Structure 1
Amino acid sequence: MCRSIKTLRPPMTPEVHDEDIRAAALQYVRKISGFRAPAAHNQEVFDAAVEAVAAATAELLDGLQVRGLPAR
């Protein structure tokens, strides 16, 4: 779907930072909305979507269990 979003789970990416999660969320919302930068009247909902996707991504990554790796 969006080739610029990289896999963030271990072992593909050993260290994932908040910036990585937010960048992936931003790319996702841009792709879904069709806007690289939303108009001023859409900025609030755009930013809220990025934050919601970032939170869901962080929750997913925190909950994943990858075989062969110790639980976080």
Structure 2
Amino acid sequence: MIAKLKALPEKVAFGIGLTLILGIGLLLFLYSLFFPIDIWTTLFIEGIVFGIAMLFVLSAADKRHSRIGKKK
């Protein structure tokens, strides 16, 4: 899984991470309008998705940092 994550281009990884961070709140809000969800379930789901999104963002930042470091 980590190898596939590192194989993604920098902009794609950042875009996926940012989309997950911004989209999960909206999706859970819309889902809670139709079905009753406990607050702890919502926090648990958000925590898992934020963790995965941070992996994508950190991977993109690492690629950018290593690319910029090679130019100097």
Higher RCO (C-alpha 8 Å, min separation 6): 2
Structure-2-length-normalised TM-score? 0.40
Q: Point out the structure with max Rg over C-alpha.
A: 2
Question: When you count helix as a share of all residues, which structure comes out higher?
Answer: 2
